[in-house]
Amino acid sequence: MEEELVKKETLGNGEILDIFDCSRKISEDAYLVKMTARITVQVKEELFSREALTRASFQDIVKKTGPSVSFEYNAERNFIMKPDKEAVFQNLVDTFFDTMVPYLSKPGFPEKLVLKRYKEAG
């Protein structure tokens, strides 16, 4: 599946949100319409509160997560007719911006994401 970058936006917390159109044709006149949103957070010491670094060292966090971690969200609709494809894709983007972007823009989101990936890594 090919990704086409359709929007790049800097969030309120300084992170970059990329929106991709990952739609694909599934029949002569129908599509799977898929929107992917992705944020790649660089793991930097200044992301973390003092409290977070008392529970884990920055070096250990980087060792387990790597130099960056990603957040990815996918939304899709199946069997969309060609004339409706763009409107459906735009609706997926608009819904994502209305519901998810306020949370993703919060100042604490990058730290929480990195710490979540750190815990998942064991």
Looking at residue 22, its pLDDT comes to 98
Whole-model pTM: value is 0.93
Looking at residue 98, its pLDDT comes to 98
Q: Residue 54: inside a domain, yes or no?
A: no
Query: What does the CA dihedral 70, 96, 111, 117 come to, rounded to 10 degrees?
Result: -40
The domain total for the chain is 1
Alpha carbon distance 28, 19 (integer Å): 26
* Inter-CA distances, 54 with 48, 51, 101, Å: 10, 5, 30
Alpha carbon distance 99, 117 (integer Å): 22
Q: Residue 35: inside a domain, yes or no?
A: yes
Q: Residue 44: inside a domain, yes or no?
A: yes
Q: Residue 53: inside a domain, yes or no?
A: no
Structure confidence by residue, pLDDT tens digits, 13-25: 999 999 999 999 9
Q: Residue 73: inside a domain, yes or no?
A: yes
Q: Residue 108: inside a domain, yes or no?
A: yes
Q: Residue 56: inside a domain, yes or no?
A: no
Q: Residue 76: inside a domain, yes or no?
A: yes
- Domain hosting residue 21, numbered range: 4-48+66-121
Instruction: Label residue 122 by pLDDT band (50, 70, 90).
Output: confident
Percent of all residues in the chain with a pLDDT value above 90, rounded to a whole number = 97
